[in-house]
């Protein structure tokens, strides 16, 4: 009988350091034993909506995501099936016409700002981690990332942060911290906390 995967949810504010935690988990377990699902892949498909309309969407709001598809994909992975995960194009503010095939694995990590928001999704997690990083650090990281990697201008990033990202964080993301089993202040920079987490994951997931 196929063993059920151990499913980890990693939440936290934008640019809080969630990816660093995920990378450490992958290094611990090996890429062959870990599959990653990113919440950003499940932004709703906006079809042929004008680019101006797509730019105006609040992508930090729960309504921006296709929760049903994400839950279906996670259920399929848990049952041993591969899934076609959408590939999101940040420059176009929309899904591309490509998919990324994600294979089932011993450990499945679901990473994203709002992965504790949807109750059905939250209840699938065996371990819930919240990466808690100060707002000013997150803003600086987001500014650097979005300009360098996502084709944004500094003015666009700052306006988006003030009008959408910060309010959504305070309304939706920060309150979701109460659902976490583990809170890691400063994310991947908090080495002692991260080592404790990694030891626990090793104990739970790799003990055959």
pLDDT at 23: 82
Give the whole-angstrom CA distance, residue 208 versus residue 206.
6
Class of domain 6-201 (CATH, top level): alpha beta
The answer to whether the beta carbons of residues 185 and 133 sit under 8 Å apart is yes
Give the whole-angstrom CA distance, residue 183 versus residue 9.
12
Determine the length of the chain: 208
3-class DSSP state for residue 98? strand
Distances (CA, A) of 59 to 4, 78, 158, 174: 32, 27, 15, 16
Pairing of strands 182-185, 127-132: parallel
Q: Which residue in the block uniquely carries the two structure tokens 């899904």?
A: 95
Cα torsion 12, 169, 102, 57 to 10°: value is -160
pLDDT at 2: 59
CA torsion through residues 81, 82, 84, 86, sign:
positive
pLDDT at 1: 44
pLDDT in tens, the chain (208 residues): 457 899 999 999 888 888 888 888 888 777 778 899 999 999 999 988 998 899 889 999 999 999 999 999 999 999 999 999 999 998 888 999 999 999 999 889 999 999 999 999 999 999 999 999 888 888 999 899 889 888 888 998 899 899 999 999 999 999 999 999 989 887 667 778 778 877 877 776 655 5
Give domain limits for the chain. 6-201
The pTM is what? 0.88
The answer to whether the beta carbons of residues 116 and 122 sit under 8 Å apart is yes
- Cβ atoms within 10 Å, residue 44: 16
């Amino acid at each position: 009988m196929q063993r059920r995967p151990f499913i980890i949810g990693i939440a936290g504010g934008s640019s809080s350091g969630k990816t660093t935690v995920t990378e450490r988990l992958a290094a611990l377990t090996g890429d062959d034993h870990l599959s990653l699902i990113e919440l950003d892949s499940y932004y709703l498909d906006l079809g042929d909506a004008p680019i101006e309309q797509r730019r105006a969407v609040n992508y930090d709001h729960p309504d921006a995501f296709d929760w049903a598809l994400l839950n279906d994909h996670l259920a399929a992975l848990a049952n041993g099936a591969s899934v076609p995960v959408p590939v999101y194009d940040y420059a176009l503010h929309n899904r591309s016409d490509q998919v990324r095939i994600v294979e089932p694995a011993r450990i499945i990590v679901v990473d994203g700002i709002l992965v504790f928001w949807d109750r059905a999704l939250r209840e699938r997690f065996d371990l819930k981690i919240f990466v808690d990083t100060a707002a000013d650090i997150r803003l600086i990281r987001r500014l650097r990332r979005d300009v360098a990697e996502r084709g944004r201008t500094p003015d666009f990033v700052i306006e988006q942060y003030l009008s959408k990202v910060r309010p959504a964080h305070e309304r939706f993301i920060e309150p979701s911290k109460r659902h976490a089993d583990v809170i890691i202040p400063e994310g991947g920079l908090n080495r002692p906390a991260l080592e404790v987490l990694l030891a626990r994951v090793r104990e739970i997931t790799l003990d055959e």
